[in-house]
Every structure is written in structure tokens, then in C-alpha cells.
Structure 1
Amino acid sequence: MQDAEKTTTKTKTNGLVRWLWLPVMAAVLMTAAVAAVPTSAQTGTAAQATVPTGTFESHLDGFAGVGSSSVKLSRAGAGRHHSRALVVRTKDRGPAAAVSKRKFGGAHAKGTRYVVRAWVRSTGQRTVALRVREVKGSTLQTKTKTVDAKGRAWTRVKVTMTAKAKNSVFKLRFRTPSLTSAQRLLVDDLRVNPRGGGKAAAGTLSNGCSRDTRGIPSCGTYIGAAHGGNTDPTALEQDLGNKLAVRRTYYTGTGVASAVKTATTDLAAGRLPWISFKAPYSWTEMADGKGDAWATDLAQRLAALNGPVWIAFHHEPETDGDIQEWRRMQERLAPIIRNNAPNVAYSVIVTGWHQFYGDPQYSLANIWPRGVKVDIAGFDIYQEYGSVKNGKMDLRWVDFGAYFQKIAGWARTVDVEWALGETGITDKAAVDRPTEIANTVKLMQDFGGVAYSYFDSELNSTAPWTLGTPEKRTAFAQVLAGSPHLN
């Protein structure tokens, strides 16, 4: 736990902020931000000219049709996470195929093992084959994997290949043997990764999905919580019947030793630690390098742990200062953490409401770190139905689907995973809609969210978010039972 000190925190209601000065005794106090969806929304998504390999959001990534086949981008919403996808069709009845004019690989040693994976589906039930050719002057080897693609369901296809030559390249083809002119083959979320880098597998989760070295799952959604004031969640877990898959904790800059100790305990218990820090210096000072030694020491301590850790610095920054200085701080810290700790995923956590419905200065286009790799975008979005403000109860349901569609579409354009860093429902919401927690988790899975962290705490809360009622405990226990866990 953290040393006692005085810190600032705030509560937010519909974009309004009031400051609270609170003593921190056992743990750093955190913000439970409330994000209500207004009746008319302003969109503040980032736009980029290009996208990462295989997202097919704005271009074909070098794929072209073969023979009578043609290739184009799907309409929005037809992709795997309600985004866009690569569409292959044929002018005549027969085979349909798309080949990559772009060459993958090209900078590796002989013997490097690659994993090529994608998700496919076709109109009706069709077999779909992914062919990978290693080329250096001539074809060195060819491997093909065929799967049954079942209508509207997405099916993963994967080929592993060990490079026979240094700096060779890989050419890809997706093919189905028989389509009519009215039918389609769709491809999405293509990845070509050397094992040991990028999204390559470093472990297997309890649901059979893989995870990378930083704990990012290849499929599935971690379910977990922040509990009390960094309170040991063992008693809560015993009541729920399962361990938390991910655990959120919060610290100021002086709490590094406590954070590392807690993360060690969490990993030993099978929990993925997701830690938030307030920086030891101002945003500007951190951005200018004053906190480099502090960040390097933190990263090196976390790198010594036996498992993955997620980390964030100054979550929910909106209205706390010059947001561009906060962005500069993230750009300074991200490479320090990631370069010194290959097991640590760098996350950036915002409220969500400000980005999509609030002041344009907080739009993701304006505040997202530039020129650095961020692993996870976290959003703190609460179900406000049943909350009371100024003596009036809010009976509007927050539309998580609308949020997730915006988030998922944006996340693909910047090659980042996304998660709920904090969320909660009121006691009334749990009674009036008993399936609300399950519905939200299902939506997250549909839109590709990798973690759902419930805010089980009374600290700085504007509504009763805690898992303090039988209805909430039962609902949360049900989704926790289906969560993937670290092995």
C-alpha cells in the first residue's frame, strides 16, 4: 500500500468537474468518472491516411484479385468487429482468390519462425485456404491451411513457417474454390509476426487462446475489477467463486515499491496487474525528461516480474491541465517503459465521454500520443442509469454499443487494443436490467475489447457502483466465470 500523503482527485458528472482534496491513507484515491451519452453526439475520432497491416479499414494493403476475381473494401460494419474487411468476389461462378502484391517479412535471420493468421468468412459454407510462400529469388517453400468458413461466423486461419533463408519475404493468397457472382469471401485482421515479437504467442490462457509477452490476448476478454482502496481481493474472489482475471490498482509517484509488491502478489494469484500511476513531476517536467530515471527504474522493476503487467500514467486527464503536455508526457514515457520492460503493456486511459461527446480539444485526434507505440487504449465508462444528480434520478441508459462501435473503429486505425479501465452500474440498474453486466461484456467481445474492469469501490463515487448487492454479485460472478485467465 501507499504511504499516507495528500493528493488531489476529482469527480466528474456529465463533463462537469469539481475538485476534492482528500487524504490518502491506505491507497491512492482514484477517479470514478461518469460518462453519459447525450441525445445528440459529436464524433471525435482520429483519422489517418494509412492503417496497419491487415485491418483493411482504408485500403487493400496490396491485395488484388486473381483471374476473374475482384477485391474491394467492405461497407462499414461488415468486418469482424463491426468495422471494414477485405471482400473478394468473382464475376463468374468458380474460384475466388486474392493475392498480396505486397511482400511481408524481409528483415530476419534464417530459422526465424513466423505466424501468419487472419479471420475469414464466406457467404454460405465454403472452405477457405490461406497459402503462404517464402520467396528469395525463387520459391523456397509453400504452406497452405484450409478451414471451413461458416456463413456469418468468423473463422481463424493460421500458418506457421520457419524461414529457410535470411531476409526472405512471404507472399500470401486467400482462396475459396467456388463462389457465385452474388457471393463473397471476407478477410479481416491479418497479422504476419515473427514469434517472439509483435503479437506472437508467449503463453496460453485458460480459454485456449494465446497471449503475447505483454499479456495481450489473441481472443477473449479479461474480466476483473478495482477493489476498495487497493484492498486485497481474496475475500471478494472467494465470494464470487473465481479469481479476478485482471486487477486495477492506483498509486502516486512515491508508491513504486508498493505497486511492484502488489503486482508480484497478483501474478502469483493468476491475476493480470493493471496499474495506474500519478507521475512524480508535472506533465511538462515529465515530458522534458525530469522523470526519465524514475520511469526507467519502474520499468526495470516490473521487467523482473514473472508475468505480464499493464501500466498507465495519469488516467482520466481531462480538465487536469494542458492536455497537450499530457500527450507529450505519454510520448516520452511509452518508449522508456516498453524498451526496458518487454513484459509490460503501455496503456493510455481516458474517460471516453470527453473524446466522443465532449470538448473537441479532448478528441482522440488531438490527444492520442504520436510517433510511439501504445498497446492498450483504456476508457472509463459507467452505466449512469439510476444515478442521482442534483436531487434528480437519471433514467437514461448509456448506450455502450454506440461507444464500442466508435472505439473499435478508431482503435483499428491506430493499431491499438482497447479495454474498459473502469466501469460500473448502479444498484437500480442491476435490478431493472439484471443482464446489463452480461450484455456489456458480450458487446465488448463482439467489438474486440480485451479487458473489462469493474470499479468495486466507494472512493470518489457519484453513484453506488460497488458490487454490494446480491444482484450485482451474481451478475459479475457469471461473467467472471467465463473469463480467460493467465495460466
Structure 2
Amino acid sequence: MQNAHRRWTWLAVVLATVMIGTMAATTPAQSRSAARESLPAGDFETHLDGFAGVDGSRVALSRDGAGRNDSRAMVVRTPRAGRATTVSKHRFAGAHAAGTAYVVRVWVRAAGARQVALRVREIARGKPVQARTARVTAKAGSWTRLKVRVTTKKRDSALKLRIRAPHVPAGTKVLVDDLSLAPKGDAGTSEGTAGMLTNGCGRTARGIPSCGTYVGAAHGSNTDPSTLEQQLGDRLALRRTYFNSTGVAAAVRTAQADLAAGRLPWVSFKLPYSWTEMADGKGDAWATDLAQRLAAVGGPVWVAFHHEPEGDGDIQEWRRMQEHLAPLVRAAAPNVAFTVVMTGWNQFYGDAQYRLAEIWPRGVKVDVAGFDIYQQYGVTKSGSTTSKWTDFEQYYRAISTWSRSVGVDWALGETGVTDVAAEARPTAIADAVQLMENYGGIAYSYFDSALNSVAPWTLGTPAKRADFAHALAGSPSLK
């Protein structure tokens, strides 16, 4: 458990119109399929999804590399000072009933720091029904996600989306990318929605959220976090714990207690045999017993085996072990998410043998990729104190790009901030969480422990606890 390494520009863009026709002779499954197929592609790689400039604005596709993931994006340009506006001429079909929940997301970027607002209006028979608006403040030159959740009040209504920026200088370019409109609870998985979170979003049986970022922590030495939660004024959305191979019974009891308290358990295990022996099946009985016990706890659990493996042996045998255990555990426990946890630093900056292309499990389903990335500012080693800040956005950008390419959700399995860093940047934790959500990370777990630590990571100061409590207050949790 150690330790290597977000305008008020009112930007006008009516992004999409979702018009729904009655599909009288279709089955529910056919209706869902039709709705999904008719939603906007929104990647702006080869076409503009029917978008055109209005109010004098001009719309075009960007050059390669200008988009979020070194791809293309839509460019909205204002030839004169005022508003930048684009409207989609397409009518995206998708049958729905009253009470259908949608999540609308889009990413925007401009040269200057501005506030951006995304507005979603429901229209039925030409009349407004309701409107929902989300606003964020973004850093200059950074991609920022806007997200609106809306539940329809009318059957077969239309959703009209707008991003507005009426006060921008002449010639201003606004980049728009990765537009999506999807039913709430669509977590990008075929497993569907098994429950709801406190933020109104759905989750799978394995606890994968359709939107939002869990905020939680490891605490002490698998210590009950109730006292910490009293200090924070809120419960942890997620709790990270660690056990050796003989601690299965204790781990199950801990998971049950966490679920009863509304926390999502994320449990790491050391193994009873070597990586090679586990990969060859010697530990199957142990892993199956663990999975079967966790299948009976009454809620979702995340599991990892031998986290942070770098330097502990032949990394290819570790990869082979993960490939062997993933299908076994997931088949035996439909409520268990299989996670793989690495340091992060080694994957992007370390030895080539630890690159993701080399060690990521192949040919099997992994639910969550975990990274243990700490804020190194203020860490003292061998009498020298680090004065360079760890760039979390750089990490998030790289992880987000990679995770999309392999189709896996991602999270921080461990992270920490030194007392010195917290004093220098009192909102370092909350900022990292918000930035993480912007980049699509689904969980943030703080390492509130002094175990195996080279720096004071614990939430041991009022400033740190206040910062963490601020981040936790906006976190979704299990219902």
C-alpha cells in the first residue's frame, strides 16, 4: 500500500434534439435497442452529427489531436464578440415512457478560464415541460465535463440540449467533444442496473456506477471507520481493506459490516500460493470459496489480488494469475467486481516491463483498474524533501485514454496528501476528486493510515479532514 507517484462563459450550443416516435408493435427489448441506436454518436471524428452554426457562429471539425484523446472535436468559432452557438438539425429517435431517466454528458474546452452551463429542456407537443441545468468552472485550456440528469415527465417527449456562452471575444474557439445521451443506469455494461445510488444514478450488481465518483478511504489497520465518519459528518461511500490469504472469514465479516453501514467494500487479498501456482490452478479451491462467501454478503463487493505487484516477482506470472482468477471469481459471485490494482507510476514512468500494454490481463473481463497514486509534494526521503507537485491531471488524462481503449472503468485504490501539501493547497483532495470525476474515474480511496508509509498521509489534521469532508459530501453512495 505504497506509494510510488477543474467558466462562466455562457457558451451557446443546442447540442441535440431527442425526438421520440411511437413504436407500437415493438417489444420492450426492441424499443431499448432502437433508442440506443438512435442516440448521437457525439465523438465528432468524421461528422458533426448534424450540427450547424447559428447566430453567426461557424462550426467545423477540428484537426487531428485537438480532441480529448488525441482525436478530433467539434469547433464552434465566433467571428465577432458575443455568442457562440451551434444547433443539431438531427432528430434522434428513441421511444420512452414518462419517468425515463437520462444522463447527458459533454466535454468542452476553451483558451480562457470560463464558467460553462449545459441546459437540458424536455419538450412535449411543442410545449416546455421542465429544464435542468448544470454549471462548472473549468481551468483555462482544460477539458471539463458537463453532466445533466433528467427524468422525463411525458411519454415520447423531446430533450433539447444547450450549452451557452454569449460573452466571448471575437474569434474565440470552443471545442466540444464526447457528447453522449444515455438512459440513466447505463453503465456501459451488459449487466444492467441492479440498484440506485444516493445521487439518483444506477449501479450494476457489482457496484459499478452509471455516473458519479465514490469517495472513501482505508482507515488505520482495517480499523472501524465510525469515529472518523463522525468527525467528517458523513459516511464513507467506499472502504478499502487488506487481508492475507487466511483472513477470508474476517474479510467477509468486514464486507458485511460495510454494506450494512452503506459503504462499498473494496478488499485486497494476498494469495496462499505463488503467482505461478495460482495461475496453474493450485489456489482454485481457495478462490472459489472466497467468491462463494462474498456472493452471500447481500451487496456489491470489489476484490483485488496482490495489489501493487511491481518488484515482487515475475510480472508476467502476476498477469497470468489475474487472467486465471478473473473468470473464476466473476462466475462464482455475480455481485463481485474483479479489480486489478497497480502503482500507476510504474505503468507510465517506470521500467518498460510494467507498462500497461505488457501487464494488463488479456482475454478476460476486468471490472475496475485501480491505481495507487500519491501526491509526492512534501515527501521527505534521505533528508531531501520533494518540492515538485504530482500532476494528477496528467495521470488522469493518460489513464482515461487508456481505459477507453480497453473498455474498463478506473479508480484510485490508494492516494494521499502530506501535511505540507495540505497546508500549501487546502483543497488538494477535493480538487483531485472533482478532476477525477471530470475524467470519468469511478472511485477515489484515500489512504488514512500510517502503515507502510514514507510520509504523513493520514487525515490527522483539521485541514485535511475538512478538505476530505468537502469531497465526501458530494459523493454518491449505496442505498
What TM-score, normalized by structure 1, do the two folds share? 0.70
Task: Name 1:272's counterpart in structure 2.
Answer: 264
Shift in Å at residue 201 of structure 1?
2.0
Task: Name 2:317's counterpart in structure 1.
Answer: 325
Task: Name 1:406's counterpart in structure 2.
Answer: 398
Residue number among 271, 281, 286 corresponding to 1:289 in the alignment: 281
Task: Name 2:409's counterpart in structure 1.
Answer: 417
Task: Name 1:227's counterpart in structure 2.
Answer: 219
Shift in Å at residue 425 of structure 1?
0.9
Residue 274 of structure 1 aligns to a residue whose secondary structure is: strand
Residue number among 261, 264, 280 corresponding to 2:253 in the alignment: 261
| Greater percentage in strand | 1
Residue number among 356, 363, 372 corresponding to 2:355 in the alignment: 363
Equivalence map 1:45-194=2 (5 Å): 76=65, 78-79=67-68, 96-97=89-90, 119-120=105-106, 154-155=146-147, 186-188=177-179
What TM-score, normalized by structure 2, do the two folds share? 0.71
Is residue 389 of structure 1 aligned with residue 381 of structure 2? yes
Contact (CA 8 Å) 1:85, 1:188: kept in 2 or not? no
Residue number among 338, 343, 354 corresponding to 2:330 in the alignment: 338
Contact (CA 8 Å) 2:184, 2:202: kept in 1 or not? no
Ranges in structure 1 where 5+ consecutive residues have no aligned partner: 1-30, 36-52, 105-113, 131-144, 161-173
Residue 420 of structure 1 aligns to a residue whose secondary structure is: strand
Residue 212 of structure 2 aligns to a residue whose secondary structure is: coil
Q: CA RMSD in A?
A: 4.2
Shift in Å at residue 188 of structure 1?
3.7
In structure 2, distance between residues paired with 1:74 and 1:115:
35
Contact (CA 8 Å) 2:185, 2:203: kept in 1 or not? no
Task: Name 2:443's counterpart in structure 1.
Answer: 451
In structure 2, distance between residues paired with 1:248 and 1:262:
10
In structure 1, distance between residues paired with 2:338 and 2:196:
21
Shift in Å at residue 404 of structure 1?
0.8
Shift in Å at residue 159 of structure 1?
10
Task: Name 1:349's counterpart in structure 2.
Answer: 341
Q: 2:3 is aligned with what amino acid?
A: A
Shift in Å at residue 75 of structure 1?
5.1
Contact (CA 8 Å) 2:279, 2:324: kept in 1 or not? yes
Contact (CA 8 Å) 1:85, 1:187: kept in 2 or not? no
By relative contact order (CA 8 Å, sep 6+), the higher-ranking structure is 1
Residue 305 of structure 1 aligns to a residue whose secondary structure is: coil
In structure 2, distance between residues paired with 1:383 and 1:212:
31
473 and 85 in structure 1: CA distance in 2 versus 1, 3 angstrom threshold = same
Shift in Å at residue 382 of structure 1?
0.7
In structure 2, distance between residues paired with 1:115 and 1:442:
23
Contact (CA 8 Å) 1:65, 1:88: kept in 2 or not? no
Contact (CA 8 Å) 1:56, 1:85: kept in 2 or not? no
In structure 1, distance between residues paired with 2:87 and 2:256:
57
Task: Name 2:28's counterpart in structure 1.
Answer: none
Ranges in structure 2 where 5+ consecutive residues have no aligned partner: 6-36, 54-58, 77-85, 95-99, 110-115, 123-128, 136-143, 153-158, 163-172
Contact (CA 8 Å) 2:185, 2:201: kept in 1 or not? no
Residue 206 of structure 1 aligns to a residue whose secondary structure is: coil
Q: Percent identity over the alignment?
A: 53
Contact (CA 8 Å) 1:97, 1:176: kept in 2 or not? no
- CA deviation vs aligned residue, 1:39-75 (integer Å, no higher than 9, x gap): xxxxxxxxxxxxxx99989996x98967999997885
Residue 471 of structure 2 aligns to a residue whose secondary structure is: helix
Q: 1:403 is aligned with what amino acid?
A: Y
Task: Name 2:2's counterpart in structure 1.
Answer: 32
In structure 2, distance between residues paired with 1:394 and 1:121:
34
Shift in Å at residue 185 of structure 1?
7.2
In structure 2, distance between residues paired with 1:235 and 1:417:
31
Q: 1:456 is aligned with what amino acid?
A: D
Q: How many residues align?
A: 397
Is residue 237 of structure 1 aligned with residue 224 of structure 2? no
Shift in Å at residue 95 of structure 1?
5.3
In structure 1, distance between residues paired with 2:51 and 2:233:
57
Contact (CA 8 Å) 1:88, 1:96: kept in 2 or not? no
In structure 1, distance between residues paired with 2:300 and 2:395:
28
